């Protein structure tokens, strides 16, 4: 599947590439672990030339430099801005000592958007994400402000990132009941090494017709193929920040590598291909600090995993989900179906019912 075989992003009319390009690595500002302006522009040009149209950044990435690199690049290529689905995020505070410099209150959202639009050299965003849950601001204030920005034409669509499912569900219900702009997508950590999203957020997205836009589909590069057991990896910037894989993570890494070998491809291609095979609309965000990284990741477009490959990867990476997830599988079926089969799901019989009359 090429990058120009687009998908509809959630319950909206917005068409995006099956992989988004993440711009967190654009810029070499202190603490960013990113790449130079020149390398960033090569990556952007390659992604767009191959038909990609979905670029994701945030006000906080590289202290605002990521947005500026994107804005300068698009301004230098007339006509490209109108063909790009440009997304950014608000929440991060770039002004030390100013409590209203970040977060999700009305004043801070409006100020952050104005700064983002200035750096991006555009008059609107196609998608604006809440980057994190602001526990100190009522969700209705955030939603009403975002709806005002949509009505003003500064923002086209809305999404949440890194926000609890109960807050997201509350927000979506409120937006629908008040005829405010609803959420069309959730940006979440999701990979073969990070599947806890399947407990609450993924089912919520599926139920509400939201797309899932996974960040770090290679889990900090652990699933890129570079990490192998008993192989020393020298990446001081990354390992200083996240450390190395655990023994359990290496079990998954080994399984991904085995599938890649069978298919004649790379681990970096298998991992996003697995995400694209999940239920619903799933649009992984590819991050790249080098042009060759992007090329390897885009291999996921051409990687077709068989049902057997998917089964093996699902089993080896199966997550332990928080309560009450364990109550909703086989135990739930056993308690309610009493040995019958409903919607294709069978059950055993709960022991106390075996030898007792319960119907009067």
Within this chain, do residues 292 and 205 fall inside the same structural domain, yes or no? yes
Decide if 2 is inside a domain: no
Strands 155-161 and 125-130: parallel
Number of domains in the chain: 2
Determine the pLDDT at residue 326.
Answer: 86
Domain around 355: 329-360
The domain that contains 265 carries what CATH number?
A: 3.20.20.100
Give Dmax (Cα) for the chain: 79
> Which pLDDT band holds residue 2 (cuts at 50, 70, 90)?
confident
pLDDT number for residue 239: 55
Residue 323: active-site member: no
Co-location of 335 and 314 in the same domain: no
- What average pLDDT does range 193-204 have in this prediction? 98
Residue 182: phi and psi, rounded to 5, are -80, 170
Structural domain includes residue 274: yes
Residues 161 and 302 occupy one common structural domain: yes
Tell me the pLDDT tens digit for each residue of 148-196.
999 999 999 999 999 999 999 999 999 999 999 999 999 999 999 999 9
Give me the pLDDT at residue 232, please.
67
pLDDT at position 59, please? 97
**Among the listed residues 249, 277, 220, the one whose alpha carbon sits nearest the alpha carbon of residue 24:** 220
Q: Residue 237: phi, psi to the nearest 5?
A: -65, -40
Is a pLDDT exceeding 70 seen at residue 219? yes
Q: Are residues 301 and 269 in the same domain?
A: yes
CB 323: neighbour CB atoms within 10 A? 7
Q: What pLDDT sits at residue 313?
A: 98
Residues of the chain with pLDDT > 70, as a percent, come to 93
Are residue 69 and residue 137 in the same domain, yes or no? yes
Catalytic residue chosen out of the listed positions 6, 47, 61, 128? 61
User: 166 and 270 in one domain?
Assistant: yes
> How would you write 195-252 as a 3-class SS string?
CHHHCCHHHHHHHHCCEEEEECCCCCCCCCCCCCCCCCCCCHHHHHHHCCCCHHHHHH
Lowest mean pLDDT across 3-7, 64-68, 236-240, 258-262: 236-240
Residue 1 belongs to some domain of the structure: no
Model confidence at 119, pLDDT cuts 50, 70, 90, reads very high
Of 170, 124, 174, 131, the closest CA to residue 149 belongs to: 124
Same domain membership, residue 338 and residue 241: no
The whole-angstrom separation of Cα 141 and Cα 110 is 12
| 323, part of any domain | no
Q: What is the mean pLDDT of residues 251-278?
A: 97
> What pLDDT score does 48 carry?
97
Mean pLDDT computed over 186-207:
98
Run of H or E including 316: helix 307-316
Which tens digits make up the pLDDT trace of 14-73?
999 999 999 999 998 776 678 999 999 999 999 999 999 999 999 999 999 999 999 999
Assess whether pLDDT exceeds 60 at residue 356: no
One domain, residues 196 and 262:
yes
Tell me, yes or no, whether 233 and 352 share the same domain: no
Domain assignment present for 324: no
Domain presence at residue 139: yes
Structure confidence at residue 350 (pLDDT): 63
Read off the pLDDT band of 348 (50, 70, 90). confident
pLDDT over threshold 90, residue 274: yes
114 in any annotated domain? yes
Who contacts 331 (Cβ-Cβ below 8 Å, separation ≥6)? none
pTM: 0.92
Q: 166 and 129 in one domain?
A: yes
Looking at the structure, tell me whether residues 48 and 87 fall in a common domain. Answer: yes
User: Per this entry, what is the length of the chain?
Assistant: 360
Instruction: Round to whole Å and give the CA distance between 7 and 5.
Output: 7
Spatial separation of the C-alpha atoms in residues 154 and 113, rounded to whole Å: 9
Whole-number Å distance between alpha carbons of 241 and 218? 16
182 lies in a domain?
yes
Together in a domain, 226 and 154: yes
pLDDT of residue 236: 47
């Amino acid at each position: 599947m090429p990058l120009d075989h687009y998908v509809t992003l959630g319950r909206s009319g917005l068409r995006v590439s099956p992989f988004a390009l993440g711009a967190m690595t654009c810029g070499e500002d202190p603490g960013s672990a990113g790449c130079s302006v020149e390398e960033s522009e090569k990556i952007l040009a390659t992604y767009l030339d191959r038909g990609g149209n979905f670029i994701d950044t945030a006000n906080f990435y590289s202290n605002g430099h990521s947005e500026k690199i994107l804005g300068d690049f698009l301004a230098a290529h007339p006509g490209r801005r109108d063909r790009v689905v440009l997304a950014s995020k608000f929440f991060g505070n770039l002004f030390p000592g100013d409590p209203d410099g970040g977060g999700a209150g009305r004043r801070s959202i409006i100020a952050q958007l104005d700064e983002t639009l200035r750096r991006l050299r555009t008059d609107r965003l196609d998608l604006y994400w809440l980057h994190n849950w602001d526990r100190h601001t009522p969700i209705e204030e955030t939603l009403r402000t975002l709806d005002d920005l949509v009505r003003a034409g500064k923002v086209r669509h809305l999404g949440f990132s890194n926000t609890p499912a109960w807050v997201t569900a509350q927000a979506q219900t409120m937006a629908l009941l008040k005829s405010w702009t609803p959420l069309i997508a959730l940006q979440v950590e999701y990979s073969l090494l990070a599947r806890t999203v399947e407990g609450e957020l993924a089912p919520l997205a599926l139920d509400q017709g939201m797309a899932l836009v996974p960040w770090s589909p290679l889990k900090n590069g652990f699933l890129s193929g570079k990490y192998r057991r008993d192989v020393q990896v020298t990446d001081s910037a990354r390992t200083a920040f996240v450390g190395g894989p655990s023994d359990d993570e290496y079990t998954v890494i080994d399984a991904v590598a085995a599938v890649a070998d069978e298919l004649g491809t790379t681990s970096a291609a298998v991992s996003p291909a697995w995400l694209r095979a999940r239920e619903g609309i799933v649009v992984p965000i590819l991050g790249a600090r080098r042009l060759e990284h992007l090329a390897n990741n885009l291999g996921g477009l051409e990687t077709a995993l068989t049902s057997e490959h998917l089964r093996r990867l699902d089993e080896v990476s199966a997550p332990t989900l928080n309560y009450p997830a364990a109550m909703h599988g086989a135990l739930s079926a056993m308690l309610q179906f009493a040995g019958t089969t409903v919607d294709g799901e069978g059950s055993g019989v709960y022991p106390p019912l075996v030898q007792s009359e319960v119907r009067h």
